[in-house]
Amino acid sequence: MDEQDGKVGLRRNPGQKYSLFLDELHSRMVFDWYMEIGCRAGRSFAPVAGKTIAVDPFFKAETNIIGAKPQLLIFQQTSDDFFASGMLERMGIKLSLSFLDGMHLFEYLLRDFMNTEALSNPDGVVALHDCLPFNHRMLTRDLQNLPKGPWTGDVWKLIPILRKYRPDLELTVLNCRPTGLVLVSNLDPANTVLRDNYEAIVEEWTAVDLLPYGVGRFYDCFESVDAEAFAAADYPIFAKIRQAPATIRKPTKVTK
């Protein structure tokens, strides 16, 4: 429970830091295609060893972000424009793991999830960041008055929305610091329920605030999973899409 929000009941996430969780995941396995939305400096996808797609409207990479990747495709545009381009369809790419960390307004993340699932391997996983806020200040939708420190906006809404409209999906809600990590599996790329109901969902949820909605009600709709215990169990939901790092072709110099 946040010391500033005792009356609210929001909890601090006690688990492993999300960036360390992802680093360790990428050190132990690779994926045919990994995609990240909301990259900026590229720090979170720099350790990835497999083929990678990175999308952000404004990159500021100052380190080596390609490393040993056999391919790195960078798109400096919004995720909406990226998906509208049809690039992945034309290339025949099916995503294995995607990390969505773009605009922290629920309607944006909902669109990113819909578009990502439609282009994913059914055995793939989509990771949603920042769905577990720990104080009321970080919940704001006001882009002109963002708090200092973490900002989650209202993407917490994706958990109850997916529970309601897509109960077929499996949600593994990790207690990663500081603001959680939700792994969505049992994907169905052909499912159009979210797309068919998108406008109704946005109308239903835009004015919903977490505190009046009920913090307890929010926590009741998922089980918190310890991130380190999940890793110790060898990342079970990745079993069908993981590849050993040694199987990935490493780039070699052709000339000195």
- pLDDT tens across 184-239, in order? 999 999 999 999 999 999 999 999 999 999 999 999 999 999 999 999 999 999 99
Q: Is the pLDDT of residue 4 over 60?
A: no
Task: Please give, one letter per residue, the 3-state secondary structure of the chain.
Answer: CCCCCCCCCCCCCCCCEHHHHHHHHHHHCECCEEEEECCCCCCCCCCCCCEEEEECCCCCCCCCCCCCCCCEEEECCCHHHHHHCCHHHHHCCCEEEEEECCCCCHHHHHHHHHHHHHCEEEEEEEEEECCCCCCHHHHCCCCCCCCCCCCCCCHHHHHHHHHHHCCCCEEEEECCECCCEEEEECCCCCCCHHHHCHHHHHHHHCCCCHHHHCHHHHHCCCCEECHHHHHHCCCHHHCCCCECHHHCCCCCCCCC
Mean pLDDT of the chain: 94
Domains belonging to the chain, first-starting first, are: 18-241 (3.40.50.150)
pTM summary value = 0.94
Which is more confident, 68 or 215? 215
